Each structure stands twice: as C-alpha cells, then as structure tokens.
Chain A
Amino acid sequence: MASKFGLAGGIPERRVRPIWDAIDSRQFKTALKITTTLLSKHPHSPYALALKALILERMGKSDEALSVCLNAKELLCRDESLLMDDLTLSTLQIVFQRLDHLDLATSCYEHACGKFPNNLELMMGLFNCYVREYSFVKQQQTAIKMYKLVGEERFLLWAVCSIQLQVLCGNGGEKLLLLAEGLLKKHVASHSLHEPEALIVYFSILEQQEKYSDALEILTGKLGSLLMIEVDKLRIQGKLLARAGDYATAANVYQKILELCADDWEAFLHYLGCLFEDDSCWSNETINAPIHPPKFVECKLTHLTDEVFDSRISNASAFVQKLRAEASNDSLRNPYLAHLEIERRKFLFGKNNDDDLIEALLQYYSRFGHLACFTSDVEAFLQVVSPEKKMEFLDKLMKNSNSLSAVPTKALGQSITLLKTQELIGNMFRLSVGELEGSAVQMAELYRKNLPLSKELDPQESMHGEELLSIVCNVLVQLFWRTRNLGYFVEAIMVLEFGLTIRRYVWQYKILLLHLYSHFGALSLAYERYKSLDVKNILMETVSHHMLPQMLASPLWADLSNLIKDYLKFMDDHFRESADLTFLAYRHRNYSKVIEFVQFKERLQHSNQYLVARVESPILQLKQSADNIEEEESILESLKCGIDFVELSNEIGSKSLTFNEDFQSRPWWTPTKEKNYLLGPFEGISYYPKENLTKEREANVRGIVERKSLLPRMIYLSIQSASVLQKDSSEINGSLADPKISSELKTLLERYAKMLGFSLNDAVDVVVGVSHGLKSYEAFGSDIIDWLNFAVFFNAWNLNSHEFGQHGGECTPGSWHLVNSLLESYILGKVRSMEPLIQSPQGDLPILVQLVTEPLAWHGLVIQSCVRSCLPSGKKKKKSGSMDQSLSLLTHAIRDAIQSLCGILEEVAKWSQDQINSPEDNKIDILVSPLRRNGQDEGPGQVFHIFETLVSSPNETELGNRISQALRDWSPVDVARKIVSGQCTVLSEFWRICESKIKSLKTLKQQIAQV
C-alpha cells in the first residue's frame, strides 16, 4: 500500500504501517489508538481520517464511521492544495462501500478526476466505482478517456465491454455494438491486438450483429494466431461458419475437431447439425435459457429431400466408422453414441423403423452396459421410441442377462443397468404388486451377494452395487403408494439407513431419506440428513429445494430461520462482492468473464427462490412474534410497515424469473417441489417427467409471491384498523380513525380476493356461505390458508368500516363470528379426523401448523390490538361515565373470539400432547413389527429380512473387517426410535407454539374482563 515516495496519503509510511498491521490482525482498539495519535499530528489529513473511519466501521460503529468519512470527503473536496491520492480515495471507498454508500465514494473519485484529469490511477479508481454501481455508460466514458490518454488495448476493451453490457444487461440499443466494432477496428488497424481475450470479445461483438463472415476473416487472418489452443480456434470457426450458413465448410471443421478429440460429443452434434443444415443447436443461446436444458437433442430434418438426407447420413456413418477404427482404445463412448444418434435421426426422418435404433442400443449395451452412466447416456434415444418398443428393448436386455460378463464387477454393473433401464422407461408402474416385491427382493439379494466385491475398497470410495439400494427404495415407495401399507414405507427407510450404516457418505441415500422423513412428519430428522449433505454456498441455490418448502410449513422455526438466513446471506453477499470480482476480471484482462459475471449476478437476482425467500423471511418473523403485539409492531416497523413488499407484489407480474434448482436428484415421487404423488391416490402413470416444468412453475411462483408479499402490509393495516375502532367517532377527530387505513385495506382485500378469483363482494359471500354451512370447505379448494387469511383481514377491516352493514354493521359481532366459526370448524374438523402421526405419513399436520401459525395467529393480533385500545391508557384520562353501547358490544365480541381461539388451541395442543405421550415402545413396535414377520413371502419385510439374515451372521473373511463391523452396528430399532423422536420434536415445537398462544390469549381475557 505504500506509495512511491515512502509517503502514504501524505504521511510517512512508517507511521501508517503499524495501523495496517493492527487492522490486519484485528486489533482494532490498538489501531484506533495509533490513529488518534496520528490525527493529533495531522488533524486535516484525509488519509488519517479515512483510516479512522475504516477502523470504526470494523468495530461496528457505522454511524461514527460515516461521519468521519464525510468529514474526510469534505476536506478532500474543499482544500484545493490537498494531495489527492488513490490510496486515500480507495481507503474511503472501502468504508463507503461497507456502509452502503457507493454514491459517496463515486463522488469523491469524480471530484478527484475533475481536479487531476490526467491521472490514470484515479481514473481507474473511478472506473471501478462505476463498475460497482453497474453504471455501464459512465464506465464506457471513463474507459474511453483512459484509452485516449494512454492508448492501451486494455482500456479500449474496458470500453468495449461496457458497451456490450449496455446492450446485454442495460437498455442500450443494438446499434451501440457498431460503435464498439468501430473502436476495435480502428485500434486493430493501428495497433493490432495482443490478448486472446480481446479477440474473443471482438468475435462476440461481431456475432451479436450477425457479422459472421467478418469474424471469420479475422479468425483466419493474422490475429487468429492469438488463440493458442487449436481446438478452441476450430470450435469458434465451426460455429461462425455454421451461423453464416456455410454448413459444408463448417462440417469439415467439426470433422477436424473430432479427429483431434474423438470423444467430443458436442462437436459431433454440431457436425450432424451442419450436415443437415440445421441451426437449432445454436438458436438456444439466450441469457435466460434454462440452466438444465432438456435432454432431448433438438433437430430439424423436414427441409431435406430424401436423396440429400441419404447421402449426408451415409457420409456421417462413414466418418463415424473411421473414428471408431482409429480410436486408440475402444473405451471411447463417443463413436458408439454417434452411431446411436445417426440411427435416431434416420428414425426421425422416417428412413428406418425403430428396430434399427433398438438394435444400436443393444449393441451399445453390450459394450457399455456395465457403466453407471449407461442409462443417462441413452435416455435421449429411448425418448423417441414408442412405449411398445421400449418394452421390447427391455425384454431383449433381460434375455441378455443370462450372458453377463465374466468379470464380477462388470456383471454387477450390467445387472444394475438393466434395473435402471426398467426404472427409466417406467416399467415399475406396469408390474403387479407381487412382481414389484419380487424385483425388490431380487435386487436386495444382488446387493447382498456382491457385497464381498467391496471388501478391499477404501471407505472413501463408492461401493459396488450402491445404486441398488436406491432402486429398492424406489420400488418400496411405489408399493406403499399402491397399497398404502405403511410397512413398505418403513422398509424403504430401513433399506437406506442400512446402506448408510455400511458406508455413511452416500448422498443419494441421504436425499431419498430426507424426503421420506419429511413425508413421515419427522422433519427434524429430515433436517439432520439435509445438514449432513453440507449444502453451502452456491449449492444453497441449487439444492435447498429439497428442504426449504417443507420447512416453510413446519413449526421448526429456529431451523427454518437459519435456513433462510444462510441462504439470503449467501445471495446478498454475492450481490455485494460480485462487482469487485468483475473488476478483477477487468484488471486481469479476462474480458469475456466480465460479461459472464454481470449476467450471472442478474440470473441470481432473478432467482425465483430468492424472491420467495425474501418474502418468507419477514413472514416467519411475523409468525414468531405474533403472540406479542408490541414485538410484532417493531418487526413491522423494521419492514417499513410492509410497503416495499406491496411494491414487490405489484411488480412481480412483469419481473423475469430464473429457475436454478437442480431437480435431477429428486426422488420419482416428488419430481418438483410443487408435486408429491404420494399425497394423491395411485395412478398408473407410466412416465414421470423430470424436466423442469418451468412455465407452470413460473405462474405458480408469481402467484405465491404476489399473494404472500401483501401479508405484512395487511397485517399492519389490520392492527391499525382494529386499534382505532372503539374511540367513538363523536369524540375524536379524523386523525385516529384514519380513513386512509380503511380504504387501503379495502384495496388490498380486493386484490387478495381477485387473486383467489373473486370480486370482493363475491369473496365475502363465499366465506359467509361457508361459515354458515351453506357452502362446503371445498369452495376454498387448495387455497384454504389464503381464504382464512382473507376472512381474518376482512373482519379487521369491517371493524372500522360501515360498508358491509349487512354482515353486522358497526362493531357488531357478525364478522367476528364469521372468523371464529371458520377457524373453529375447519381446524377442529381436521384435528378430529387425523390419525396418529406414526401410522399415517404426511397427513394433515403441515396444514394444521399453517392454520395455527398464519390465519389464527393474524386473528390473534387483531384481538390483541382491539384489547389494547379498549384498555384505559395511562396517557389519556379515563373516560368517565357509562361505557357506550358499541364498546360493550365490542368487548363482548372480543371475549367470544378469545374463548373460541382458546378452545381451538387447547384441543390442538392436547392432540399433539397425546401423540407425544403415547408410549415410545408401542410406536417403535408399530414401525418394526410389520417387517419382522419372518418367513412370509408376501407383503413388506422381505427385503428387510434379507438384511437381517446377513447381519445375523456376517462372514468376516468374505466381507472384510470394515463391512462386518458396520453390519454389527446395524440396529433397526434405533432407526425406528429416531423416527419416533423426530416426530416428537416436531410435535413438541407445535405444542409449544399452541401453548404460547393460549397463554397470551388468557392474559387478554383477564385484561378485557376489566374493561
């Protein structure tokens, strides 16, 4: 950090060094002390002040830090004679940035650059400020100034990148690209280019303008030699040629690539694309393209005549033959996959029936069937053939299974592939219960028999046959779905736990387990499994969908809060630091990364999950504090009374969303977070699409965010509305009974109703109808929580409005009664019909939790607000004389409401308590005994039995020490006990929530009794 003359910001370096040392070793107090001494010598040194501010900020004293910074800034800007060095400015910059005042840092640099217009260092600092602010236009202007000043290639490219960013991420028109191109052209003419990255940016500028032949000319010219890696160069060339429509030459280029890298699958697809003059593989390059593109390879063939197709395809075949012959080892899969792709195209073109494709698949199996990636390799090919053909393929594979490889690990691999193929084509859904059981048993046997193969393996390594247990689990869950026999479900859990006992690292098991435990109401256990996956950093964006949705409807608030907080922190940290990393890319001249980083940040900012988390986070806080209106109000205050969220709700319709979740690893029964087949009855669906159903999900997420982000504001307004009512209007002027509150709440109610598909009046009719028993709860559909919320907020509004007189008029109990009866009959109906958790996975617990922690809690807040405003407050002199009639009516209504809520909660609490208290051993028995019906060859327990036998007498010489020891550690009763206690944890938390509400209501009851 030392400047050239041994001076740092005008202060001798030796005086400054100890300060930095102290800061670096986090000795902030010491640092502050030295700085204070320094400041006494140099009271007007902006640098010393900047250091002080930096230290204060680190110590958490943001306000002081800001004022010191502002002081320094003022000195800098006022005193013309002062030194303006980058060190001072960059130190100030750091502090301003940490204090979220980028604009102030920028204005310091702007001022400095104005004063010293030819100082390159300061200009770079200013450029950096604009990078941080994503001010692409100003970046461009600054870069151009630097370029004009010193003529360096890098500054030109900074400008070019800034232009490109305006077009890609800002609102710059495409014609700006022409400007960028002009700048580059001129520079190349006079100075040429020296960085490969510069060339790559040049190409992308040309490509964006579809000037492919210009780009090609440059590539094949002298500049092309900047690209040192031959294949990279060829890839660019191939793409440019193809985009320019010169498919024949492009195909030759791709041939060359394949000759160099025979295993390059993408190059092969492009090669075929060129042969068939089909540009569909390049058309998919938009920024918001899904992160997990469909596996299906797009292709267009219809524009080809028969003859053309024939000749091209035979060229391709010949080339693939040649590749295959030349391949140094025949473990290269590409040439064989290429053959499959050729057959697939023939089939799609109508040249062949699907027999040839099936034949090619069989050949592929005979060569690569033992590999774990076989099924994912062939998935796209199987997709195009008819269901009958798929079955035929499977039958043929089965026949093959008599002639497995002589190498045991290979034979095992082949067998597993067979099973995975069966899964892939959905055959499981066609088998009878008996057949499914048989196949589960067979797989478990296969696993058991092959266990000795892993005897010598290091525990860090995947074991042979590990995948079998996942498949067994899938089959058992299927059996559970069909028969609703809980035994299969528990058995599925046991299988995976068994697998983890043998090797504890298998993340695939953990994911399956966490879903099974979630479904079983043992959410705390699911969360344990989730934590053991060590999901952190960017994985939170792609993997947390396994856990977050269930947690949102759970009483495990502390865990949920951590989950959301960690995730939001990760995202927000990234947004904060991303610009600095972008600047790093500028500095290191990796210009293509500049564009990439900015686009990536945008992608994350538009993440649907991020939006949902941002809305759910305050809602969680509001739930957590709902029993204490003062706390609730201070949370609302920190949320600006929900105004920003209303804004979000308004905007969400027009915001573009990204979907970055990786659903690949989700179990078949819940392919997306919105779907869980086990909740519904068994349907003989034969194919479970695993693709992102992005369109559908998009509408869904928008709906959720739109609705939920109204909640904070509606809660706020409801509290307000309920707290002004009793001050009877004759006495008080308009300021308290604020008509604005009433009208705003009405507007929001109208919007809420509209989202539910109704006008306000009609929605009110629906809730009234249901509460009077004229309509059934079916009328609410799956939006029950939203409907009840609506009823609660409607009541709050009605307290302060005269519009819906027919429902009770001023402060009369009509709308109170409406809410009480809706909550009571729905919640109690649920509780009374619920089976013990231990016998009924999922059930209605999540909905019950939501009912209590959302609509019921919001209603509780309305009550609290009413009670508070009924109480004589210290400040105002107590109204003497008789209570007026409306107040008495109101207190009556409140008493009823309290009574009603207490009644509901007590029953719910008792239900939870009963579940918790039922004897553990009984519950364990319910789980384990159905599996221990030895000797049965029907029903659950057969797979379990195989493992029990294995465990009872492990053959140590065969299995080795480690596996034998693990087998001895296996205890199914422990697993059952963990399930039971996992459920109890959830129930206890729920019980605690109920109890706390009851307590708060009882206090209110006493208070209202005194009015």
Chain B
Amino acid sequence: MTTIRRFCCNDLLRFASVNLDHLTETFNMSFYMTYLARWPDYFHVAEGPGNRIMGYIMGKVEGQGESWHGHVTAVTVAPEYRRQQLAKKLMNLLEEISDKIDKAYFVDLFVRASNTPAIKMYEKLGYVIYRRVLRYYSGEEDGLDMRKALSRDVEKKSIIPLKRPVTPDELEYD
C-alpha cells in the first residue's frame, strides 16, 4: 500500500495536502534542497495508490566523535493515513540508515512541548526526553530534545537525560 522511496523535488509539488496541516512547517526551498543535496538518504516519502503522498520524513546525519548522530528534522503523515504505523516505518528507516550505514551513536529530534500526539509517538518508538530547550520555537514555545540510542552506543550514554533545561544558543547543532 505504501511505497517508500527517496524524496525528490517534484514531491514538493505534491505534498500540499500533507503540509497544510498546522503542525507541519513548509520550509523555504534552499532548506529542502540543502537536505536533498547533502543527505538524500535521510529524506524519504511514502506514496499510496494513485501516487498520493501519504507522508514523509526528512533528516540528516552530523556531529563529531560520540555525538555523531542521525537527526529527524521533520516527520509528518497526512490525516487520512494516520495511525497506520506509517510514521513508525519512516522513523525506523531513518534509524536503520543512521545505525547501519552511517554508524551513528544515536538519533535525536526536537518537538514542540505542546505537541502531545507526536511526543506520545516518539515515546512509543523508544525515544526519551533528553533535555528541554527553552523557547526553541520562534523564541516562544519550548522544545523537547528527544533521543534514542543506536547499537553503537552500547552503554546508552547518549540518552542519559540532562538535569537542567538549556537555551537555544547552548545547542551544539541547529
């Protein structure tokens, strides 16, 4: 039912019904295209019958030493395809690429502290809240930095939660 393949530019013209969702940000072109130019294996789309876009995930891999990690920049699923394990599949794919191909230590992501459905999902998928980032979203809403350790981080050091919240300028990567 679902074909998962690399995201390509033309998909930008077809994802309107997914992106009109109020929690899904439509970035500028250079943002998408930078991801496509640099991390094409971290940008996947799920297509259903009639070539409908069901959802997509975009991410990257970055960091030095033990903080070499995969990052989920956005994951979103069109309302009519929700609760069918699609986001889970997309997340698993990104985790697998981070783990097997890029040998990263963990995968992380930021989520709005108010986005309860997404937080619940990430928790279900094994992510823990690593730290809170104060006023991460446009200087207003807090973000949660969530992480999941990969096989290379045998002792799961990367996900030991921080005691205190941080501010956006303390973040190592944006």
By a beta-carbon cutoff of 8 Å, the part of chain A in contact with chain B is 228, 261, 263-267, 291-293, 295, 331-334, 337, 371-373, 376-377, 379-380, 458, 460-462, 505, 507, 533-534, 536-539, 541-543, 570, 573-574, 577-578, 580-582, 584-585, 588, 590, 592-593, 596-597, 599-600, 603, 660, 662, 664-665
Contact = CB atoms under 8 A, between A and B. Distances in A.
Nearest to B119: A458
Residue of B36, B100, B116 with most partner-chain A CB within 10 A: B36
B138 interface: no
Contacts of B21: 505, 507
B2 A593 contact: no
B82 A462 contact: yes
B64 interface: no
Contacts of A588: 37-38
B26 A593 contact: no
B16 A263 contact: no
A256 to B, nearest CB: 15
Given A264-B2, A600-B9, A376 B50 contact: yes
B82 A662 contact: no
A337 B50 CA distance: 12
Identify the 9 closest CB pairs spanning chains A and B, nearest first.
A372-B80, A600-B9, A295-B50, A585-B37, A333-B1, A266-B3, A507-B20, A581-B33, A584-B37
Interface string B4-44: 10001110111011011111001111101110111010000
Most interface-central of B38, B47, B85 (chain A CB within 10 A): B38
A600 B33 CA distance: 11
B28 A537 contact: yes
B40 to A, nearest CB: 5
B137 interface: no
A380 B20 contact: no
A600 B50 contact: no
B154 interface: no
23 contacts: A261-B4, A265-B48, A292-B14, A334-B2, A371-B84, A372-B80, A376-B52, A461-B117, A537-B28, A538-B29, A539-B19, A577-B29, A578-B29, A581-B34, A584-B33, A585-B36, A585-B37, A590-B37, A597-B9, A597-B37, A664-B17, A665-B17, A665-B20
Contact of B115 (A373, A380, A460, A584): A460
Given A334-B1, A460-B117, A662-B14, A293 B51 contact: yes
B30 A593 contact: no
A292 B13 CA distance: 9
B117 A593 contact: no
Given A373-B48, A507-B20, A577 B40 contact: no
A698 B71 CA distance: 43
A267 B3 contact: yes
A593 B36 contact: yes
B59 to A, nearest CB: 15
A373 B49 CA distance: 10
Contact of A291 (B13, B19, B101): B13
A258 B9 CA distance: 26
Given A266-B3, A292-B14, A593 B49 contact: no
Given A377-B48, A593-B40, A291 B29 contact: no
A337 B52 CA distance: 15
Interface in B54-113: 79-82, 84-85, 100-101
Contacts of A584: 33-34, 37-38
Contacts of B49: 265, 295, 337, 376-377, 380
Nearest to B38: A588
Given A292-B14, A577-B30, A458 B116 contact: yes
B151 interface: no
Contact of B13 (A570, A660, A665): A660
A542 B20 contact: no
B114 interface: yes
Interface of B: 1-4, 8-10, 12-14, 16-17, 19-23, 26-30, 32-34, 36-38, 40, 47-52, 79-82, 84-85, 100-101, 114-117
Contacts of A337: 1, 49
* Residue from B3, B52, B85 having most chain A Cβ neighbours under 10 A: B3
A528 B52 CA distance: 29
Contacts of A377: 1, 48-49
Contacts of B13: 291, 538, 541-542, 603, 660, 662
B55 to A, nearest CB: 12
A266 B1 CA distance: 8
A300 B47 CA distance: 23
A266 B26 contact: no
Nearest to B97: A229
Given A537-B27, A539-B20, 4 more contacts: A376-B80, A538-B12, A542-B14, A660-B13
Contacts of B2: 263-265, 334
A182 B34 CA distance: 31
B35 to A, nearest CB: 10
B16 A460 contact: no
A597 B40 CA distance: 13
Given A292-B14, A588-B38, A264 B33 contact: no
A267 B49 CA distance: 11
Nearest to B101: A228
Contact of B3 (A265, A460, A507, A590): A265
A599 B32 CA distance: 16
Contacts of A261: 4
A578 B82 CA distance: 34
Nearest to A235: B5
Contacts of A331: 84-85
Contacts of B81: 372-373
B37 A379 contact: no
A662 B16 contact: yes
Contacts of B100: 228
Contact of B1 (A263, A460, A462): A263
